[in-house]
């Protein structure tokens, strides 16, 4: 394992009072519950994979829950969303039933894509997909932003999530360039967990410190750097960014410094990370950070938290039962709804 110079990020300033006032107790607890649903779903789905119930690839979102939870809470569902193959969280946050997602992971006909897409390809009316190709979602999200501008729907943004590994892709730079040229309302979010598969960002992105600002400056757009482990910092930064895009119809680039607590995929033992490094990362668990903040402000008790966690665990277990009992697709339907030769 190679030692790398640690980040020296300059995070957007957290407006804690504004977030608490805007969301209120009900909204804050809803966000906490959503993060617990993501965590419990991923834990049980990973267990199902290890027991041979799920095939193909599986990429866990554990450790990154604060990012998409805060963004989607702010935006609401009536926008365009696209993300990577690490896509279970987004589907859950956009209202796809856990049973439907789990059934898709199991390859069953009751799944989100009738068992054809699996873990990496989930959809909803506004979720344009989880994309298996690194950076593949970025031009699609840019196209969705173009649609919003062409149809004159200024409140309808396109938000695109990607990993740090996508930053060196040509599609990323071409998309940012055209979005800036055409003033497209697109929010590009880099979920920088520092590891593109097993390659540290220092070996993949030249001048990797604060790289999002340098890239954004090159394309004439505003940039933000957020603490992806802190729900409140994400909420403050996303709120400012979304307001800016709606006001100006200009794209923005956001870099969220985060950590995944698992390997790149379920088959990755993550031997490139030391145990001490992983332990230090997990001490900044985004769920614990939000929970502790709510308890400190008398908006939550430890007993309530345990009850919420238990409730979401039951939801995930119920989804596993549903998926296990669902029928397999009939092979005769294999070529139905296939639009490419």
Distance of CA 293 to the CA centre of its chain: 22
196 inside domain: yes
d(CA 286, CA 31): 12
Q: How many CA atoms lie less than 13 Å away from 97 in the CB half-sphere?
A: 12
From first CA to last CA, the distance across the chain in angstroms is: 45
DSSP tag of 164 = G
**DSSP secondary structure of 192-240:** E-SEETTEEGGGTSTT-TTHHHHHHHHTT-EEEEEETT-HHHHHHHHHH
Tokens of 144: 């969705």
Tokens of 173: 């730079």
Do the Cβ atoms of 234 and 228 come closer than 8 Å?
Answer: yes
331 inside domain: no
Q: Phi and psi (nearest 5°) for 236?
A: -65, -45
Distance of CA 336 to the CA centre of its chain: 30
85 inside domain: yes
CATH at 84: 3.40.50.970
d(CA 168, CA 90): 24
Task: Give the residue numbers spanning the domain of 158.
Answer: 16-268+276-322
336 inside domain: no
179 inside domain: yes
7 inside domain: no
Please tell me the total count of domains within the chain: 1
* Phi-psi map region of 225: left, alpha, beta (phi>0 left; psi -120 to 50 alpha): beta
- Please give the chain's pLDDT, 341 residues, in tens: 455 666 667 899 999 999 999 999 999 999 999 999 999 999 999 999 999 999 999 999 999 999 999 999 999 999 999 999 999 999 999 999 999 999 999 999 999 999 999 999 999 999 999 999 999 999 999 999 999 999 999 889 999 999 999 999 999 999 999 999 999 999 999 999 988 888 888 888 888 888 999 999 999 999 999 999 999 999 999 999 999 999 999 999 999 999 999 989 988 888 888 888 888 888 999 999 999 999 999 999 999 999 999 999 999 999 999 999 999 999 998 888 777 65
263 inside domain: yes
d(CA 100, CA 92): 10
149 inside domain: yes
Q: Which of 142, 168, 145, 141 is nearest to 84 (CA)?
A: 141
d(CA 147, CA 143): 6
d(CA 106, CA 159): 28
């Amino acid at each position: 394992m190679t030692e790398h110079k640690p980040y020296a990020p300059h995070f957007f300033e957290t407006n804690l009072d504004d977030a608490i006032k805007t969301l209120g107790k009900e909204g804050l607890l809803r966000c906490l519950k959503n993060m617990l649903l993501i965590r419990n779903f991923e834990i049980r789905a990973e267990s199902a994979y290890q027991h041979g119930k799920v095939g193909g690839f599986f990429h866990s979102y554990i450790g990154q829950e604060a990012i998409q939870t805060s963004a989607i809470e702010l935006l609401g569902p009536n926008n365009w969303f696209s993300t990577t193959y690490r896509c279970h969280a987004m589907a859950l946050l956009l209202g796809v039933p856990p049973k439907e997602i789990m059934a898709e992971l199991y390859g069953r006909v009751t799944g989100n894509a009738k068992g054809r897409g699996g873990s990496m390809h989930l959809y909803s009316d506004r979720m344009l997909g989880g994309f298996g190709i690194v950076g593949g979602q970025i031009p699609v999200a840019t196209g969705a932003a173009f649609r919003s501008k062409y149809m004159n729907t200024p409140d309808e943004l396109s938000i695109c999530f990607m990993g740090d590994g996508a930053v060196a892709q040509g599609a990323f730079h071409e998309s940012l360039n055209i979005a800036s040229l055409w003033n497209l309302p697109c929010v590009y979010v880099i979920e920088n967990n520092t590891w593109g598969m097993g390659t540290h960002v220092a070996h993949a992105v030249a001048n990797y410190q604060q790289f999002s600002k340098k890239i954004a400056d090159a394309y004439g757009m505003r940039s933000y750097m957020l603490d992806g482990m802190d729900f409140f910092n994400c909420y403050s930064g996303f709120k400012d960014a979304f307001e800016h895009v709606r006001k100006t119809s200009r794209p923005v680039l956001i870099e969220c410094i985060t950590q995944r607590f698992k390997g790149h995929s379920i088959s990755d033992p993550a031997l490139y990370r030391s145990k001490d490094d992983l332990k230090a990362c997990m001490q900044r668990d985004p769920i614990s950070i939000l929970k502790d903040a709510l308890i400190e402000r008398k908006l939550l008790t430890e007993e309530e938290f345990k009850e919420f966690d238990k409730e979401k665990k039951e939801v995930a277990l119920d989804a596993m039962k549903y998926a296990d009992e669902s029928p397999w697709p009939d092979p005769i339907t294999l070529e139905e709804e296939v639009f490419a030769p």
